[in-house]
Structure 1
Amino acid sequence: MKDVRVTLAVATVLRIFLQDPVEARYGYDLMQLTGYPSGKLYPILARLEAAGWLSKEVEHVDPATAGRPARRHYRLTGEGLVAARRELVRVNEQVRFQPGANPAPHPAAGTT
């Protein structure tokens, strides 16, 4: 299993898969749920698949009968499930507000 750089976009995709880890998702469904265009989503899916976090299966349909191309369904692998949970915990810890921390002032602060 390869390491994946978990950006906010990758974390968003992983969070959707973790909502129901056994459910297979296809690209258009993920595009609607994330709001990401195909040019942003599919490279994320390809990286997660290359890392072994996702598996991909091509739907067995006759495109002429279905009136659309066969869908590619993505699903978390066992390793991907463990890695996704671990990485989302790490991301949540990084963005969690820590009381007593001195946040950077708002750019407009102190201006009149």
Structure 2
Amino acid sequence: MVRPRRPSAQTTLVLDALVGDPATWRYGYELGRQVGLKAGSLYPILIRLCDHGLLEAAWEHDPQPGRPARHLYRLTGKGVNWAAEVPGDVSARPAPGRPAAQPRLREA
């Protein structure tokens, strides 16, 4: 029997941002700013969610002139159902649009 793994806190932040309006396509950069994650953390999460069929990705159809096409993301039906089952204390998560607190290094 395989036990489902709990998603990381960062994955939960991404799910929270997407589940608010699951039918809307979102840019990765926009999601990263909303949840306070940098590209090196965000895009592996998005790729993993796509690989599991929880998220769908598509290329932008009509990019602005002078700008390359960007990837867009949105939750699938399976992703919406899975996000609803994700355990976690919503009150302990950072508010949408506010970056998560970054740890500070101690000075020697």
Shorter chain as normaliser: what TM range? Answer: 0.7 to 0.9
Of structures 1 and 2, the larger Rg is shown by 1
- Higher RCO (Cα < 8 Å, 6 or more apart): 2
Distance in 2 between residues matched to 1:76 and 1:83, nearest whole Å:
10
Give runs of ≥4 in structure 1 deviating > 4 Å.
none
Partner residue in 2 for 1:99: none
Instruction: Give the CA RMSD over aligned residues.
Output: 1.9
Once the two structures are superposed, residues 78-105 of structure 1 have per-residue CA deviations (whole angstroms, 9 ceiling, x without a partner) of: 0000001111xx1229x7xxxxxxxxxx
Secondary structure of 2:47's aligned partner: helix
User: C-alpha separation between the residues in 1 aligned to 2:46 and 2:6?
Assistant: 13
TM-score normalised by the chain length of structure 1: 0.71
Q: Which runs of 5+ in 2 are unaligned?
A: 93-108
Give 5+ residue unaligned stretches, structure 1: 96-112
TM-score by length of 2: 0.73
Superposed counterparts of 1:76-91, under 5 Å: 76-87=75-86, 90-91=87-88
After TM superposition, the structure 1 = structure 2 runs for residues 45-56 of structure 1, keeping only pairs within 5 Å, are: 45-56=46-57
